[in-house]
Amino acid sequence: MTEKEILRLKKIATHIRKDIIVSTSCAKSGHPGGSLSIADIVTVLYFKEMNISPRKRKNPDRDRFVLSKGHCAPALYGALAEKGFFPEEDLKTLRKVDSYLEGHPSAKTVPGVDISTGSLGQGVSNAVGIAIGGKLDKKDYRVYTILGDGECEEGEVWEAAMCAAHYKLDNLCAFIDVNGLQIDGATSEVMNPNPIGDKFKAFGWNVVEIDGHDYRAIESALRKAKKAKGKPTAIIAKTVKGKGVSFMENKASWHGVAPDAEQTKAALEELDRFEAELDAEREEA
């Protein structure tokens, strides 16, 4: 990945972070913290890695994405809007009673959403089923999913992990967003899921551990996932909850609270400054 490519992706991720702030602010509810922590991963998947197109939404050979941590829908919606699946202006209708952009992703209403998610553990279970379907149909598409580290406290996650390894689903790649925080505080104190990587290894998965905000590391991990034959891959991504907005970073209090008008203004100004720095770097590159 070239430096210009990284700068391009960082700019897209910054737009998605702005989308997250605007949509949750307009809704006066939602989950900005965990949405911001996965923005870089979502960006690489949607704008570098996955074979998807808004013009061919039902292409049977397209790659599939499942947001298992469905409460972080603002990040997914931001990526889909930036990709052209629906108008960016519609993000301001998040969680409104007459909006198709519900608080959790709905495959019935949202263009580009493959599976409805929200109940933790069920998203990755659906991803396993889709991957099995791809194997049975002899399709080459890949299945990607993102889980939270708090979500890994759910027993259903490990039933899915056992099933994926049993059926040798090397077409399945799961990112675990390890930001260390959930709504009630530190995951290590609420119900310690660590060491998550060792657990997936014990269940028979190929495991790669990375910095979830390092674009080269994300791309490298995805390459390793494609090379792993006969087993699914878990990419353990260490991230910062609230990444990109300094007053939200590493604070569990921003798990499920929307920014008010003043906080929204401050967050967008900070992201605007970062985008201006990226533009300056791109001109020099």
Instruction: State pLDDT tens for residues 120-138.
Output: 999 999 999 999 999 999 9
The set of residues, in sequence order, having a beta carbon less than 8 Å from that of 281 and lying 6+ positions away, is 7
Number of domains in the chain: 1
Q: How far apart are CA 71 and CA 7, in angstroms?
A: 28
What pLDDT was estimated at residue 282?
A: 86
Distance of CA 125 to the CA centre of its chain: 16
Any alpha helices (H) in the chain, and if so which ranges? 3-27, 32-37, 39-44, 73-83, 122-136, 155-166, 187-191, 196-202, 215-227, 261-284
Quick one: pLDDT at residue 210? 98
Q: How confident is the model at residue 284 (pLDDT cuts 50, 70, 90)?
A: confident
Residues 6+ apart with CB under 8 A from 106: 100, 113, 116
Strand partners, 185: 182
Residue 275 reports pLDDT greater than 80: yes
Q: Are 181 and 187 in contact (CB under 8 A)?
A: yes
pLDDT recorded at residue 34? 98
pLDDT at 164 > cutoff 80? yes
| pLDDT over 80 at 198, yes or no | yes
Cα dihedral 213, 219, 224, 227 in deg (nearest 10): 150
73-111 pLDDT, tens digit per residue, is 999 999 999 999 999 999 999 999 999 999 999 999 999
Average pLDDT, the chain: 97
Q: Please determine, for residue 285, whether its predicted confidence score (pLDDT) is greater than 90.
A: no
CATH of the domain at 197: 3.40.50.970
Q: Would the pLDDT of 142 be above 90?
A: yes
> The tokens of 26 are what?
């307009």
- Domain encompassing residue 253: 3-284
